[in-house]
Amino acid sequence: MAFDFRLATVDEVDQIASIEMESMPNPWKADSYIEAINSDHAFVMVAMDDKRVAGYAVFYLTPPEAELPDIVVDLEYRGKGLGRSLLTEAFAALSKNSIDTVFLEVRESNAAARSLYNSLGFEEIGKRKYFYSNPVEDAICMSLHM
């Protein structure tokens, strides 16, 4: 399947927020995406299947570092390499913004996400006890030097 990877606009926010609601225990609201899209210090990358959002990733930029606070692939598109492609495309955009290191947190039990990050070269750099709620869980902190 061929996807178009590009920066999100406010036109995609309703779709993004709806995928987020289905996928995340503490979902971000539409306003948070609008803020990120309109900020000079953040971007939201989307993978488009024609006019449908198949996945998205949010980055906060503090060059030479960036944070990845939110990445989701719509349930129907999972397990086909889209998460990997979305991050690979995003890393190219980050490099153009003078970013060389990406940080993230992930639930300890999130095997799919941890496996994806490991396979892209992220390394565990620490743990935050009781970082998440609903349910309460530790976060694994990871970083990638690109």
Report d(CA 125, CA 80) in Å as an integer. Answer: 28
Stretch that binds ligand COA, among 6-14, 29-37, 69-77, 89-97 (CB under 6 A): 69-77
Active site residues: 105, 117
Q: How far is the CB of 101 from ligand COA (least distance, A)?
A: 17
Under rule CB under 6 A, residue 62 binds ligand COA:
no
Report d(CA 121, CA 68) in Å as an integer. Answer: 15
Report d(CA 27, CA 115) in Å as an integer. Answer: 22
- CA 97 to chain CA centroid, Å, is 17
Using CB under 6 A as the binding criterion, the count of chain residues that bind ligand COA stands at 19
Q: What is the binding site for ligand COA (CB under 6 A)?
A: 23, 71-73, 78-84, 106, 110-113, 115-116, 119
